[in-house]
């Protein structure tokens, strides 16, 4: 059983954080430390620690993360200019919070895909 992170408290609104979207599967809110002009996190409500822990039962949730990213990109007005979706996994992937989340990044030119 994975340990809860701050994201579970945000999802349950025990830590009041403005939500951009929430349904029975996923929740979205702005990154507390935005790296770009528009930086949103899309998080499954269910605690899944890393992408390595995903199962076939999670496929609906993972698909929902993409459709919510598309919807929020349009609402942010960055759908036509473009954006990037990132999910980090474990230490080499740069994961800091062990509750999977998709970064929606945009609002400016993002440059090369990787900085190592
Ligand atoms: P990752 O490195 O992929 O695990 O990304 C974790 C992200 O969560 C970072 O971009 C943090 O800025 C963000 N973050 C951490 N705590 C909070 C919080 N309380 N509210 C919103 N974003 C957070």
List the chain domain ranges.
6-106
Q: Does domain 6-106 have CATH number 3.40.109.10?
A: no
Instruction: Please tell me whether the overall predicted TM-score, pTM, comes out greater than 0.95 for this model.
Output: yes
pLDDT tens sequence across 77-88: 999 999 999 999
pLDDT at residue 114, as a whole number: 85
**Chain position carrying tokens 């496929």:** 59
Active site residue 109: no
Ligand 1 and 95: CB distance under 6 A: yes
What's the gap between Cα 112 and its chain centre?
Answer: 20
pLDDT tens sequence across 20-60: 999 999 999 999 999 999 999 999 999 999 999 999 999 99
Sheet arrangement for strand 102-106: 19-22, 26-30, 38-44, 102-106, 83-86
Ligand 1 and 32: CB distance under 6 A: yes
């Amino acid at each position: 059983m994975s340990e809860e992170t701050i994201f579970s408290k945000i999802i349950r609104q025990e830590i009041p954080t403005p939500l951009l979207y929430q349904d029975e599967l996923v929740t979205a809110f702005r990154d507390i430390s935005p790296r770009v002009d528009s930086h949103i996190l899309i998080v499954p409500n269910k605690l899944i620690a890393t992408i390595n822990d995903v199962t076939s039962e999670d496929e609906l949730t993972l698909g929902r993360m993409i459709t919510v990213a598309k919807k929020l990109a349009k609402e942010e007005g960055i759908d036509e200019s473009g954006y990037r979706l990132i999910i980090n996994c474990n230490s080499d992937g740069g994961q800091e919070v062990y509750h999977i989340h998709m970064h929606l990044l945009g609002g400016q030119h993002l440059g090369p895909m990787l900085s190592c």
